[in-house]
Structure 1
Amino acid sequence: MTATPHSPGRAGPARSSGVREPGRLRAMVRLGRVKFLLQSSSVVGAGTAVAVAASGGFSPRMYLLVLLFAWLGHLMTHYCNEFFDLDADRANPSPTSWTGGSRVLVDGLLPPRVSLSAAFVLLFCALCTAMALPTAGQRLVAVAVLAVSWFYTAPPVRLNYRALGEVACATVLYALVPLLAFLAQSTPVTPELFAYLGVVFALQLLRCLIMNLPDIPGDQRVGKTTLAGVLGPSNVTRAYAGGNALVYAAVAVVTVTGTLPPVTGGALLATLPIPVWVASRLRTGVLGDQRGAELVTFWSSMLLPATSCAVIVGMTVTAFLGRGAPGPWLVVATATIALFGAWLARTVPATVGRSRRATRRDRRSATGVGAT
């Protein structure tokens, strides 16, 4: 009988008790899936960039406060999800590096209670950070972020088990967090902000559909209902292609009409090849093999930080040409773009390597090479 996420006393394979402390530390970091914090960093930067372009001002203290809150909330969500999604992760026959969880609890490297305990600690720290925000409106947005994030998988709400997870994820990470970053700069809301939020919300919703596709078989085994599972692979493929076509058409319209500055609109349109490639691969049924799933989920994930970085570039250039961009913000914007670029340069070869190794394993299995 397998342990469930709600029976933390059963930690999995007995070998977990023999893991040395350095191994436990590495497992704890891996459990938190730190690589995904790049997305929260980029959306905080993008929301701030829109505010800087609108006002010409920049508060480093408020930027750092929101960034800290976003990281704490993001990590909290990961540790919470690992605990409450354990049954679904165990039932998943084909996880990738970007879907199916960290596999730390599945492999028995740490007991499940460690993940839940970490989630509670991070929730407390995030709430304390939220209470340090200066206005009631900002604190309300922050609390909404934490509430939706926690109940993404936690009972009794379990949004991602009721076909609401994709919408919840898009609402938190690509609507509420950049909105909070914008508001923290004490700038009145602008049409540019709503245009940006609408674009990235829609793109994140479409991305979440793709990320849940490889998990459908395991999800169905444990009664987990995602929107991707309800729609099915063929409808998700059509929704992704059609949805991205509509989003990028909307970007072109709001750029031509002047709602978005030309530099920002042009930078966003420059990311179009990514969803075009993903959509073309989806039509071939590529998620049926591990190599294809690895690459498609990777590039569908990279579209979101890429669009956020495009907004950072576009809005910073707009600010520089208009009111002027404060020196500290130029440093932050440059560092954010450079970090994403360096991480991408390191991650692309690693992802391609993993996909090739998966292909070789599949071929060996098909031919019986190495079988015992």
Structure 2
Amino acid sequence: MQGRALELGTLVGVQLFGVLDQLFIVYANDHADQETDRRNRTPTLFSGGSRVLVEGRLSPRALGTAAIVCAVALLSLSVGLAVARGAPLLVPLAVAALALLWAYSHPPLRLSYRGGGELLQMVGVAGVLPLYGYVAQGGELGRFPWALVMFLLPTHLGCAIATALPDEPSDRESGKLTLPARVGGERAAWAIVALNGLTWVLAPFGLGSVGLSAGLGLLVPVVATLAVPLIRPAPPGSRLIQLRVAAAITATLSTIALPLVGLALA
């Protein structure tokens, strides 16, 4: 696969987009989920919200204002990049990033409470963000490596499910239909294994689409994935649940590293 040199100014702009998007997600989701977070007695580093509203460290109004500021900054940055790089598609992609969070947390859709939250996370992280970076760097939409994205979608979905594992009791109490709340933590753990397994099946096609192969690097996500169901019992609120989530996150991050490192060294 032939590529082109990264434009460093654009790279900084894209990274800033990612930071603003992440902050918007955290602020807006905390604002929308504050009642559920108040019921959450098993928060972890990976889940349960930031707790700033629950603990009274910030007011809902302040957090809502911060979310709006991040959204406006994200859109302004995208307009600037679109003009500078001659890439108008960046603006609708930025709108899509904001819309995904709105559909996740806010009425009328509020899909995190209707069973579609993990899918929205997958689409945003594994779809919108890489496409945004690709287009910003001058990539042609018709040459975007869709097979690579398809390869990464299942493991991202598994990671989204994993971060909901510690919140199972409060999510069920609040009627939030995450997979762990619907089927229980142990079954959800096996779903994570199955999704990562699908990623391994797709690896030759996804990595091959950009001229790479998995090789021994695939051993890291395989071992991390197998640890997910083996770390038990892991009820919400325990130390083992945090290790289980960390294992699932490691599986996804190490899988993402395969094409990143491979393309960097190519």
TM-score by length of 2: 0.89
The answer to whether the 8 A contact 1:174-1:204 is kept is yes
Distance 1:107 1:214 in 2: 19
What corresponds to 1:58 in structure 2? Answer: 6
Residue from 140, 147, 150 that aligns with 1:198: 150
Is residue 54–residue 187 contact of structure 1 (8 Å, CA) maintained in 2? no
Determine the C-alpha separation between the residues in 2 that align with 1:269 and 1:189: 32
> Residue 183 of structure 1 corresponds to which residue in structure 2?
135
Query: What CA distance in whole angstroms lies between the structure 1 residues aligned with 2:166 and 2:146?
Result: 32
**Identical aligned pairs, as a percentage?**
27
**Is the 2:149–2:206 contact (alpha carbons within 8 Å) kept by the matching residues of 1?**
no
Rounded to whole Å, the distance in 2 between the matches of 1:235 and 1:192 is 35
- In structure 2, the CA distance between the partners of 1:126 and 1:81, relative to structure 1 (3 Å rule), is same
| Aligned-partner Cα distance in 2 for 1:311–1:182 | 14
Structure 2 CA distance for aligned equivalents of residues 254 and 139 of structure 1: 27
Q: CA deviation at 1:153?
A: 0.9
Q: 2:107 aligns with which of 128, 136, 155?
A: 155
Which of the pair has more CA radius of gyration? 1
For residue 239 of structure 1, what is the aligned residue in structure 2? 191
| Distance in 2, Cα, partners of 1:196 & 1:269 | 19
Residue in structure 2 matched with residue 303 of structure 1 by the alignment: 251
Distance 2:252 2:39 in 1: 28
Unmatched 5+ residue regions in structure 1? 1-52, 319-372
Question: Which amino acid in 2 is paired with 1:155?
Answer: P
Aligned equivalents of 1:215, 1:54: Cα separation in 2: 44
253 and 184 in structure 1: CA distance in 2 versus 1, 3 angstrom threshold:
closer
1:73-222 correspondence runs (5 A): 73-132=21-80, 133=82, 134-189=86-141, 193-222=145-174
CA-to-aligned-CA distance 1:20-73 (integer Å, 9 cap, x gap): xxxxxxxxxxxxxxxxxxxxxxxxxxxxxxxxx632322112222221111111
Distance between the aligned counterparts of 2:221 and 2:25, measured in 1? 28
User: TM (normalized to structure 1)?
Assistant: 0.65
- Other-structure match for 1:271: 221
Q: 2:56 & 2:8 partners in 1: Cα distance?
A: 41
- Aligned position for 1:67: 15
Q: Name 1:324's counterpart in structure 2.
A: none
Q: Is the contact made by 1:271 and 1:307 (CA closer than 8 Å) also made in structure 2? A: yes
> Size of the alignment, in residue pairs?
262
Query: What is the CA distance between 1:259 and its match in structure 2?
Result: 2.7
Structure 2: where are the runs of 5+ without partners? none
Q: Which amino acid aligns with 1:241?
A: V
Counterparts of 1:135 and 1:254, CA distance in 2: 26
CA-based RMSD: 2.2
Aligned to 2:212: 262
Matched, 1:230 2:182: yes
User: 222-231 vs 307-316, which deviates more?
Assistant: 222-231
